[in-house]
Homo-oligomer: A and B are copies of this chain.
Amino acid sequence: MLKLFHAWGSCSLAPMIALEEAGADYEVAVLSTRDGDQRRAEYLAINPKGRVPALVTDRGVLTENPAILAWIAQAYPDARLAPLDDPWAFGQAQAFNSYLCATVHVAHAHKHRGYRWTDDKQAQAELTRKVPETMSACFQLIEDEMLMGPYVLGKAFSICDAYLFTLADWLEGDDVDPRQFPKVHEHRERVRVRPAVSKALAQQPA
């Protein structure tokens, strides 16, 4: 059975939603990043990057959201979670997910994880300070240029929607009002009420 290493509040919610949408048989191993579970030896043996998500499959471990999400779409083609038969449309999906992974998530991470890029406490505070501005810029670009509507790629729900929902739910915590971005905001609430998404979210301890 698939096993997803997941932390609540992290981006590993995206593959959890995708697995629910796919109707996959999977179990969840919950890590507490606050307690540093992701840096313990037993987890580093699974994912030496010390990050979530990691998806354990019968072929081995897969990491990185854009790769995990695309794999879920390919492994469960009946769920139609990506345009698998059209390389160009698939490329657009991968480009969207790469932007979330390498730009939006990175912008967000400068709030609490500035220690990755500087040991200086004052500099870390400066990184935290700019997060509302960088996150707003990212979501303005998504609003204006990327989110076709009603779903990211147009009419059909895809892995991109699971990922965007996950990161858009960080906006309030990053001191950004999501209502500045009406399409993103409506998208977020549209995705939240999907049965698979509700089922994933319901697993979070109160």
A63 surroundings in chain B (CB, below 8 A): 95, 99
Q: CB of A126 within 8 A of chain B?
A: yes
A59-94 interface bits toward B, Cβ cutoff 8 Å, 1 = contact, 0 = none: 110111111101100110000000000011011101
Contact check, A87 vs B67: say whether CB atoms are below 8 A apart.
no
Contact check, A64 vs B119: say whether CB atoms are below 8 A apart.
no
Majority SS of interface residues in chain A? helix
Question: Once bound together, how far apart are the Cα atoms of A163 and B31, in whole Å?
Answer: 32
Contact check, A145 vs B102: say whether CB atoms are below 8 A apart.
no
Contact check, A75 vs B102: say whether CB atoms are below 8 A apart.
no
Partner of A118, one of B67, B98, B123: B123
Partner of A67, one of B92, B105, B116, B126: B92
A102 surroundings in chain B (CB, below 8 A): 64, 98, 101-102, 105-106
Q: CB of A141 within 8 A of chain B?
A: yes
Question: Once bound together, how far apart are the Cα atoms of A60 and B144, in whole Å?
Answer: 17
Contact check, A94 vs B94: say whether CB atoms are below 8 A apart.
yes
Partner of A75, one of B59, B87, B103: B87
The residue on B at minimum CB distance from A58 is B88
Interface residues of chain A, those whose CB is within 8 Å of chain B, are 48-49, 57, 59-60, 62-68, 70-71, 74-75, 87-88, 90-92, 94-95, 98-99, 101-103, 105-107, 110, 116-120, 122-123, 126-127, 129-130, 134, 141, 144-145
User: Would you give 13 A-B contacts (Cβ < 8 Å), ordered by A?
Assistant: A49-B99, A49-B141, A57-B88, A60-B88, A60-B92, A64-B98, A64-B102, A68-B91, A74-B91, A98-B101, A116-B134, A117-B134, A123-B123
